[in-house]
Amino acid sequence: MKIPILRLGEILLTSIQVDLTDAEVMEFQSSVLHTISEVEARGLALDITAMEVVDSFMARTINDTASMARLLGAEVVVCGMHPSVALTLVEMGRGLIGVDATFNLDEGLSRLRKRIAQRGDSMLGEDDRHERSS
Amino acid sequence: MNAPVEEVVYIVPILDSTDVLKARQSARELAARLKLGSADQTRLATAVSELTRNVLQYAGQGQCKIIDASSDTQTRITVVVEDHGPGIPDIELAMRDGYSTSGGLGAGLPGVQRLMDEFHLISQSGHTCLTITMSRPRLAL
Protein backbone atom coordinates (compact mmCIF):
# COMPACT_ATOMS: atom_id res chain seq x y z
CA MET A 1 0.00 0.00 0.00
CA LYS A 2 1.66 3.18 -1.22
CA ILE A 3 0.51 6.36 0.48
CA PRO A 4 0.65 9.36 -1.85
CA ILE A 5 2.82 12.27 -0.77
CA LEU A 6 1.67 15.44 -2.49
CA ARG A 7 3.69 18.58 -2.93
CA LEU A 8 2.07 21.93 -2.38
CA GLY A 9 4.78 24.51 -2.98
CA GLU A 10 7.28 23.95 -0.20
CA ILE A 11 4.91 21.87 1.90
CA LEU A 12 4.35 18.13 1.64
CA LEU A 13 0.90 16.85 2.25
CA THR A 14 0.07 13.28 3.10
CA SER A 15 -3.03 11.58 4.36
CA ILE A 16 -3.34 8.11 5.84
CA GLN A 17 -6.62 6.70 4.57
CA VAL A 18 -6.23 2.97 5.13
CA ASP A 19 -5.38 0.67 7.99
CA LEU A 20 -1.63 0.01 7.78
CA THR A 21 0.46 -2.92 8.93
CA ASP A 22 3.58 -2.16 10.94
CA ALA A 23 5.77 -2.80 7.91
CA GLU A 24 3.70 -0.40 5.82
CA VAL A 25 3.96 2.22 8.56
CA MET A 26 7.75 1.96 8.54
CA GLU A 27 7.84 2.13 4.75
CA PHE A 28 5.67 5.22 4.88
CA GLN A 29 7.97 6.83 7.43
CA SER A 30 10.99 6.24 5.26
CA SER A 31 9.36 7.49 2.08
CA VAL A 32 8.13 10.67 3.82
CA LEU A 33 11.62 11.42 5.12
CA HIS A 34 13.24 10.77 1.77
CA THR A 35 10.77 12.99 -0.02
CA ILE A 36 11.29 15.81 2.49
CA SER A 37 15.02 15.62 1.99
CA GLU A 38 14.77 15.33 -1.78
CA VAL A 39 12.60 18.38 -2.34
CA GLU A 40 13.89 20.20 0.76
CA ALA A 41 10.35 20.65 1.95
CA ARG A 42 9.92 23.27 4.67
CA GLY A 43 6.81 21.67 6.09
CA LEU A 44 4.95 18.39 6.41
CA ALA A 45 1.21 18.09 7.04
CA LEU A 46 0.14 14.65 8.16
CA ASP A 47 -3.59 14.18 7.92
CA ILE A 48 -4.98 11.41 10.13
CA THR A 49 -8.68 12.23 9.85
CA ALA A 50 -9.47 8.75 8.53
CA MET A 51 -7.52 6.86 11.19
CA GLU A 52 -9.80 5.05 13.59
CA VAL A 53 -7.09 3.27 15.54
CA VAL A 54 -3.76 4.74 16.59
CA ASP A 55 -2.08 2.24 18.87
CA SER A 56 1.19 2.70 20.73
CA PHE A 57 3.26 1.60 17.75
CA MET A 58 1.56 4.02 15.38
CA ALA A 59 1.72 6.81 17.97
CA ARG A 60 5.41 6.27 18.47
CA THR A 61 6.01 6.19 14.73
CA ILE A 62 4.13 9.45 14.19
CA ASN A 63 6.12 11.01 17.03
CA ASP A 64 9.40 9.74 15.66
CA THR A 65 8.60 10.79 12.10
CA ALA A 66 7.85 14.31 13.31
CA SER A 67 11.16 14.47 15.20
CA MET A 68 13.07 13.12 12.22
CA ALA A 69 11.40 15.56 9.84
CA ARG A 70 12.37 18.40 12.16
CA LEU A 71 15.94 17.19 12.17
CA LEU A 72 15.93 17.43 8.40
CA GLY A 73 14.64 20.99 8.62
CA ALA A 74 10.88 20.66 8.10
CA GLU A 75 8.06 21.86 10.33
CA VAL A 76 5.39 19.25 11.08
CA VAL A 77 1.71 19.31 11.96
CA VAL A 78 -0.63 16.40 12.56
CA CYS A 79 -4.15 17.19 11.38
CA GLY A 80 -7.62 15.95 12.20
CA MET A 81 -7.18 13.44 15.00
CA HIS A 82 -10.48 11.75 15.82
CA PRO A 83 -11.69 12.46 19.39
CA SER A 84 -11.91 8.72 20.19
CA VAL A 85 -8.29 8.33 19.16
CA ALA A 86 -7.14 11.23 21.36
CA LEU A 87 -9.13 9.80 24.24
CA THR A 88 -7.70 6.32 23.84
CA LEU A 89 -4.11 7.49 23.48
CA VAL A 90 -4.22 9.63 26.59
CA GLU A 91 -6.02 6.95 28.61
CA MET A 92 -3.35 4.47 27.61
CA GLY A 93 -0.82 6.96 28.89
CA ARG A 94 0.57 7.73 25.52
CA GLY A 95 -0.05 11.07 23.91
CA LEU A 96 1.62 12.35 20.82
CA ILE A 97 3.82 14.42 23.03
CA GLY A 98 5.48 17.35 21.38
CA VAL A 99 3.70 17.01 18.06
CA ASP A 100 1.88 20.08 16.87
CA ALA A 101 -1.75 19.36 15.99
CA THR A 102 -4.62 21.11 14.27
CA PHE A 103 -8.32 20.35 13.84
CA ASN A 104 -8.10 19.93 10.10
CA LEU A 105 -5.86 20.05 7.09
CA ASP A 106 -6.81 23.60 6.23
CA GLU A 107 -5.61 24.88 9.59
CA GLY A 108 -2.60 22.63 9.38
CA LEU A 109 -1.49 24.24 6.15
CA SER A 110 -1.92 27.77 7.42
CA ARG A 111 -0.05 26.88 10.63
CA LEU A 112 2.82 25.52 8.57
CA ARG A 113 2.91 28.56 6.28
CA LYS A 114 2.98 30.86 9.27
CA ARG A 115 5.84 28.98 10.86
CA ILE A 116 7.82 28.82 7.65
CA ALA A 117 7.34 32.56 7.22
CA GLN A 118 8.61 33.11 10.78
CA ARG A 119 11.70 31.06 10.06
CA GLY A 120 12.38 33.23 7.08
CA ASP A 121 13.96 30.52 4.93
CA SER A 122 11.12 30.08 2.52
CA MET A 123 12.16 28.96 -0.93
CA LEU A 124 9.39 31.00 -2.44
CA GLY A 125 9.93 34.63 -3.35
CA GLU A 126 8.10 37.46 -1.58
CA ASP A 127 5.65 37.75 -4.49
CA ASP A 128 4.86 34.05 -4.54
CA ARG A 129 3.98 34.11 -0.92
CA HIS A 130 1.68 37.08 -1.33
CA GLU A 131 -0.09 35.32 -4.14
CA ARG A 132 -0.52 32.21 -2.05
CA SER A 133 -1.81 33.90 1.04
CA SER A 134 -4.21 36.21 -0.77
CA MET B 1 -33.13 -12.94 33.45
CA ASN B 2 -31.37 -15.14 30.97
CA ALA B 3 -27.92 -16.39 31.78
CA PRO B 4 -25.39 -14.81 29.44
CA VAL B 5 -24.67 -16.96 26.42
CA GLU B 6 -21.08 -16.76 25.34
CA GLU B 7 -20.70 -16.76 21.64
CA VAL B 8 -17.30 -16.85 20.01
CA VAL B 9 -17.77 -14.45 17.16
CA TYR B 10 -14.29 -14.37 15.66
CA ILE B 11 -11.24 -16.54 15.88
CA VAL B 12 -8.28 -14.81 14.29
CA PRO B 13 -5.02 -16.75 14.02
CA ILE B 14 -2.13 -14.33 14.59
CA LEU B 15 0.63 -15.28 12.18
CA ASP B 16 1.81 -12.03 10.62
CA SER B 17 1.22 -8.31 10.88
CA THR B 18 -1.85 -8.31 8.63
CA ASP B 19 -3.53 -10.47 11.29
CA VAL B 20 -3.11 -7.62 13.79
CA LEU B 21 -5.28 -5.54 11.47
CA LYS B 22 -7.80 -8.36 11.05
CA ALA B 23 -8.06 -8.83 14.80
CA ARG B 24 -8.55 -5.17 15.61
CA GLN B 25 -11.00 -4.64 12.75
CA SER B 26 -13.03 -7.65 13.89
CA ALA B 27 -13.12 -6.36 17.46
CA ARG B 28 -14.24 -2.98 16.26
CA GLU B 29 -16.90 -4.52 14.05
CA LEU B 30 -18.38 -6.52 16.92
CA ALA B 31 -18.34 -3.47 19.19
CA ALA B 32 -20.14 -1.47 16.51
CA ARG B 33 -22.65 -4.25 15.94
CA LEU B 34 -23.40 -4.35 19.66
CA LYS B 35 -23.93 -0.59 19.50
CA LEU B 36 -21.04 0.50 21.67
CA GLY B 37 -20.07 4.11 21.11
CA SER B 38 -17.21 5.18 18.90
CA ALA B 39 -14.87 5.83 21.83
CA ASP B 40 -15.44 2.29 23.12
CA GLN B 41 -14.99 0.84 19.64
CA THR B 42 -11.64 2.59 19.41
CA ARG B 43 -10.61 1.57 22.95
CA LEU B 44 -11.33 -2.08 22.23
CA ALA B 45 -9.70 -2.09 18.80
CA THR B 46 -6.61 -0.38 20.19
CA ALA B 47 -6.33 -2.84 23.08
CA VAL B 48 -6.62 -5.77 20.67
CA SER B 49 -4.00 -4.20 18.44
CA GLU B 50 -1.55 -3.91 21.35
CA LEU B 51 -2.05 -7.48 22.54
CA THR B 52 -1.89 -9.14 19.14
CA ARG B 53 1.25 -7.19 18.26
CA ASN B 54 2.80 -8.46 21.50
CA VAL B 55 2.04 -12.00 20.34
CA LEU B 56 3.88 -11.47 17.07
CA GLN B 57 6.76 -9.76 18.78
CA TYR B 58 7.35 -12.11 21.67
CA ALA B 59 5.88 -15.45 20.62
CA GLY B 60 5.88 -15.30 16.83
CA GLN B 61 2.33 -16.57 16.55
CA GLY B 62 -0.84 -17.13 18.51
CA GLN B 63 -4.56 -16.72 18.43
CA CYS B 64 -7.14 -14.05 19.17
CA LYS B 65 -10.68 -15.02 20.12
CA ILE B 66 -13.38 -12.37 20.25
CA ILE B 67 -16.40 -13.33 22.31
CA ASP B 68 -19.81 -11.77 22.71
CA ALA B 69 -20.80 -12.48 26.32
CA SER B 70 -23.65 -10.00 26.49
CA SER B 71 -26.71 -10.53 28.65
CA ASP B 72 -30.08 -8.77 28.82
CA THR B 73 -28.66 -6.08 31.00
CA GLN B 74 -25.12 -5.80 29.80
CA THR B 75 -23.14 -5.55 26.61
CA ARG B 76 -20.02 -7.50 27.23
CA ILE B 77 -17.14 -8.28 24.89
CA THR B 78 -14.32 -10.54 25.96
CA VAL B 79 -11.15 -10.98 23.97
CA VAL B 80 -8.78 -13.85 24.67
CA VAL B 81 -5.29 -13.56 23.24
CA GLU B 82 -3.12 -16.66 23.61
CA ASP B 83 0.25 -17.85 22.50
CA HIS B 84 2.70 -20.66 23.15
CA GLY B 85 5.79 -18.52 23.31
CA PRO B 86 8.39 -18.22 26.03
CA GLY B 87 6.01 -16.45 28.42
CA ILE B 88 6.46 -13.20 30.32
CA PRO B 89 9.43 -13.67 32.65
CA ASP B 90 8.42 -11.06 35.20
CA ILE B 91 4.72 -10.19 35.19
CA GLU B 92 5.02 -7.55 37.87
CA LEU B 93 7.65 -5.78 35.82
CA ALA B 94 5.64 -6.11 32.60
CA MET B 95 2.68 -4.46 34.31
CA ARG B 96 4.74 -1.52 35.47
CA ASP B 97 4.12 1.71 33.62
CA GLY B 98 6.76 2.68 31.14
CA TYR B 99 8.49 -0.66 31.24
CA SER B 100 9.31 -2.28 27.94
CA THR B 101 11.70 -4.90 26.72
CA SER B 102 11.08 -3.98 23.11
CA GLY B 103 12.61 -0.57 22.88
CA GLY B 104 10.08 2.08 23.73
CA LEU B 105 6.68 0.50 23.18
CA GLY B 106 6.38 1.27 26.85
CA ALA B 107 2.86 1.50 28.17
CA GLY B 108 1.74 -1.73 26.47
CA LEU B 109 0.07 -3.89 29.09
CA PRO B 110 -0.71 -1.23 31.72
CA GLY B 111 -2.17 0.90 28.92
CA VAL B 112 -4.42 -1.94 27.79
CA GLN B 113 -5.51 -2.53 31.36
CA ARG B 114 -6.54 1.11 31.70
CA LEU B 115 -8.66 0.89 28.54
CA MET B 116 -10.52 -2.22 29.68
CA ASP B 117 -12.89 -3.06 32.52
CA GLU B 118 -11.36 -6.45 33.26
CA PHE B 119 -7.88 -7.68 32.60
CA HIS B 120 -6.48 -11.12 33.42
CA LEU B 121 -3.05 -12.34 32.61
CA ILE B 122 -1.56 -15.78 33.08
CA SER B 123 1.83 -16.56 31.73
CA GLN B 124 4.28 -19.38 32.02
CA SER B 125 6.84 -20.80 29.68
CA GLY B 126 4.90 -22.23 26.73
CA HIS B 127 1.59 -20.55 27.41
CA THR B 128 0.56 -16.93 27.82
CA CYS B 129 -3.10 -15.99 27.97
CA LEU B 130 -4.53 -12.49 28.26
CA THR B 131 -8.23 -12.04 28.77
CA ILE B 132 -9.69 -8.58 28.50
CA THR B 133 -13.31 -7.55 28.86
CA MET B 134 -15.27 -4.43 28.14
CA SER B 135 -18.72 -4.25 29.67
CA ARG B 136 -21.34 -1.57 29.44
CA PRO B 137 -24.86 -1.48 30.82
CA ARG B 138 -27.37 -2.17 28.10
CA LEU B 139 -29.73 0.70 27.48
CA ALA B 140 -33.36 -0.15 28.09
CA LEU B 141 -35.28 -0.43 24.84
Which pLDDT score is estimated for B95?
A: 86
For residue B113, give the chain A residue with the closest CA.
A92
Whether residue B104 has pLDDT greater than 50: no
Q: Is the dihedral of CA B67, B69, B70, B75 positive or negative?
A: negative
Of A21, A54, A91, the CB nearest to B115: A91
* Chain-chain contact of A52 with B39 (C-beta, under 8 angstroms): no
Range of the domain at B110: 7-137
A interface with B, Cβ–Cβ < 8 A, is 19-23, 52-57, 60, 82-85, 87-88, 91-94
Strand order across the beta sheet in which A101-102 lies: A5-8, A11-15, A43-47, A75-79, A101-102
- The predicted complex's ipTM stands at 0.87
Task: Tell me the CATH number for domain A5-133.
Answer: 3.30.750.24
Full DSSP string of B82-94: EE-SS--S-HHHH
- pLDDT (average), residues B12-41: 97
Selected for mutation to probe chain A from B19, B22, B26, B42 (highest A CB count within 10 Å) is B42
Distance separating alpha carbons of residues B88 and B54, to the nearest angstrom: 11
Higher pLDDT, A15 or B106: A15
Residues 6+ apart with CB under 8 A from A52: A19, A82, A84, A85, B28, B41, B42, B45
Whether residue B140 has pLDDT greater than 80: no
Work out the mean pLDDT of chain B and round it to a whole number: 89
* Domains of chain A, residue spans: 5-133
- pLDDT (average), residues A76-93: 94
Confidence of residue B91 (pLDDT cuts 50, 70, 90): confident
Distance separating alpha carbons of residues A41 and A113, to the nearest angstrom: 12
Whether residue A132 has pLDDT greater than 70: no
| Residues found in chain A | 134
- pLDDT (average), residues B34-47: 97
Whether residue B130 has pLDDT greater than 80: yes
CB atoms within 10 A of CB B61: 14
Strands A5-8 and B7-14: unpaired
Specify the CATH number for the domain of residue B122. 3.30.565.10
Is residue B2 one of the residues assigned to a domain? no
Give how many domains chain B has, as a whole number: 1
Question: What's the half-sphere exposure (Cβ side, CA atoms, 13 Å) at B129?
Answer: 6
Which pLDDT score is estimated for B99?
A: 57
Is residue B39 one of the residues assigned to a domain? yes
Distance separating alpha carbons of residues A111 and A75, to the nearest angstrom: 10
Distance separating alpha carbons of residues B36 and A96, to the nearest angstrom: 26
* Chain-chain contact of B42 with A21 (C-beta, under 8 angstroms): no
CB–CB of B11/B63 below 8 Å?
yes
Is residue B128 one of the residues assigned to a domain? yes
Distance separating alpha carbons of residues A27 and A48, to the nearest angstrom: 17
Is residue B115 one of the residues assigned to a domain? yes
Is residue B1 one of the residues assigned to a domain? no
Q: Which of A16-20, B43-47, B83-87, B99-103 has the lowest mean pLDDT?
A: B99-103
Query: What residues of B are in contact with residue A94 (Cβ under 8 Å)?
Result: 106-107, 111
Query: What residues of B are in contact with residue A23 (Cβ under 8 Å)?
Result: 17
